[in-house]
Amino acid sequence: MQKFFHFQSIHLTKTASLVLIFTLLLSGCKQPANERISKSDFYFDTIITVTLYDNTQEDLLTGCFELAKKYENLFSTTIDTSDISKINAAKGKTVTVDPETITLLKKGLFYGDLSNGRFDVTIRKLSALWNFSENEGEIPNDSDIKKAVDTIDYRNVEINGNEVTLKNPQAAIDLGGIAKGYIADKMKEYLNENGVTAGIINLGGNVLTIGEKEDGPYNIGIQKPFAEDGTLLFTVEITDQTVVSSGTYERCFTVDDKIYHHILDISTGYPYDNGLLGVTIICKNSVDGDGLSTTCFALGLTDGMKLIESLENVEAVFITDDYQLHMSSGMGTEIPYSIIE
């Protein structure tokens, strides 16, 4: 049966998140610590960690972080020489970019179409205005917000081969909503090509697993929103899949007892208030987990769940502001989970 769903008028972006998803090392693990290798570094405004369970070649970890640097230099909005910065600075002129930048842009435009514009890669002017990565409590001027909103429309991104043109010279692109997922997928592809069959790639709110550990699936924990001590709300067991979370608690500040968070409704330019604290997606590819977590948050609980139920091999958990969990139909069967009491 074909399923239909209704979209509300909202556009969102997801900035780089804090580490909200945790890999739980279960007791009785058959891999001794000295047979596991791991490396962490800081990219994309977050700590990223790559762990290999079946391979001790340090050069493979080095290769992953070389990829991280490569993609940051392509997709960053703060590195002047990146492809995205060049497009944003061109003021409507055509820019030739790397084929992988084209690939990621097309994925962003795909989610623009899927969400009927709720996911929009041209949100840079608005996200930069709020600047949640550094903002500790300054609410932008309302007139500036309205000006930024007027620049947002993903349909102004024109792609011809490896050339990109912004038909609105005032528009600017921000791929922060899907870049980490794409990079995680590329790291996994690289590791698979080099014989790795068990491991975890953790890019903040994106966790991507490789195959299965010797002792079974990976147990991934999701943090309780706003819990400063890292308290977990629930865990999921996955094999060769990704877990991606997006929530109001990732980047936020409080003014006069009101929380302002990084998920922005571009119909108003202000943080969105729809009764959700977070959305977690479980699927195959991390870039799709990125796009869907943002899109489903935009749609809200009812329409977001309808979208998930219309897709194959995708599950989701919605956290409402009363801290209740709302699971898609495959949770508990396709994806085992446990709620932390």
CATH code at 259? 3.10.520.10
pLDDT of residue 130: 83
Beta bridge partners of 203: 48, 206
Question: How much is the pLDDT for 267?
Answer: 84
Residue 179 counted as domain residue = no
User: How crowded is the C-beta side of 202, counted as CA atoms within 13 Å?
Assistant: 24
Distance separating alpha carbons of residues 94 and 310, to the nearest angstrom: 37
Q: CA separation (Å) from 68 to 61, 128, 159, 229?
A: 11, 22, 25, 29
- Please report the pLDDT score of residue 186 as a whole number: 98
**Mean pLDDT over each residue of the chain, to the nearest integer:** 87
Are 294 and 246 contacting, i.e. CB atoms less than 8 angstroms apart?
A: yes
Of 30 and 240, the structure prediction assigns the larger pLDDT to 240
Of the three residues 133, 166, 199, the one that is the final residue of a domain is 166
pLDDT tens readout for residues 214-242 = 889 999 999 888 887 778 999 999 999 99
In the chain, the percentage of residues whose pLDDT exceeds 70 is 89
- CB under 8 A, 24+ apart: contacts of 225-233: 225/249, 225/277, 225/278, 225/319, 225/323, 226/277, 230/22, 231/340, 232/22, 232/340, 233/319, 233/323, 233/325, 233/339, 233/340
Distances (CA, A) of 302 to 133, 225, 298, 308, 321: 30, 20, 11, 10, 14
Spatial separation of the C-alpha atoms in residues 118 and 113, rounded to whole Å: 9
Final residue in a domain of this structure, among 166, 199, 218: 166
174 has a pLDDT exceeding 80: yes
User: Would the pLDDT of 149 be above 90?
Assistant: yes
Q: Is residue 194 part of a domain?
A: yes
196 and 267 in a single domain? The answer is yes
Enter the pTM of the model: 0.88
pLDDT at 53 over 50: yes
Residue type, 120: D
Tell me what pLDDT residue 269 has. 86
In this predicted structure, the answer to whether residue 10 has a pLDDT above a threshold of 80 is: no
**Are 119 and 142 contained in the same domain?**
yes
Report yes or no: 319 and 277 within 8 Å, Cβ to Cβ: yes
- Mark whether 196 and 284 lie in a shared domain: yes
Q: Are residues 252 and 162 in the same domain?
A: no
Q: Give the CA count within 13 Å in the CB-facing half-sphere of 220.
A: 33
Confidence of residue 271 (pLDDT cuts 50, 70, 90): confident
> Does 182 reside within a domain?
no
Q: What is the pLDDT of residues 305-325, one digit of tens each?
A: 999 999 999 999 999 999 999
What pLDDT shows up at residue 190?
98
Mark whether 260 and 326 lie in a shared domain: yes
**Domain at 102, CATH number:** 1.10.3980.10
Q: How confident is the model at residue 46 (pLDDT cuts 50, 70, 90)?
A: confident
Residue 255's pLDDT is what? 78
Give domain status of residue 13, yes or no.
Answer: no
For residue 191, is pLDDT > 80? yes
Residues 232 and 285 occupy one common structural domain: yes
Residues 235 and 327 placed together within one structural domain of the fold: yes
Q: What is the pLDDT of residue 37?
A: 96
Q: Is residue 10 part of a domain?
A: no
- State which of 166, 199, 233 marks the end of a domain: 166
Tell me how many degrees the CA angle 321-224-29 measures, rounded to the nearest 5: 150
In a domain, 203, yes or no: yes
Please check whether residue 91 lies inside any domain of the structure: yes
Query: Distance (Å, rounded) from C-alpha 149 to C-alpha 185?
Result: 31
Is 289 within a domain? Answer: yes
Q: Look at residues 188, 202, 244 and name the one whose alpha carbon lies nearest to residue 14.
A: 244
Contact 176, 250 (CB under 8 A): no
Dihedral (CA of 32, 33, 35, 36) sign = positive
The string of pLDDT tens digits covering residues 272-310 is 888 999 999 999 999 999 999 999 998 999 999 999 999
Shared domain for 263 and 297, answered yes or no, is yes
Same domain, 223 and 333: yes
Q: Which domain holds residue 109?
A: 71-166
Number of separate domains in the chain: 2
Indicate if 315 and 203 belong to the same structural domain: yes
Of the chain, the percentage scoring pLDDT greater than 90 comes to 70
Question: Do 108 and 229 sit in the same domain of this protein?
Answer: no
Say whether pLDDT at 5 is over 80. no
- Residue 33: per-residue pLDDT: 52
Interval 187-212 mean pLDDT: 95
pLDDT at 34: 52
Q: Which residues are 39's β-sheet partners?
A: 50
Same-domain status, 128 and 253: no
pLDDT in tens, 64-108: 999 999 999 999 999 999 999 999 999 999 999 999 999 999 999
Q: Does position 19 have pLDDT exceeding 90, yes or no?
A: no
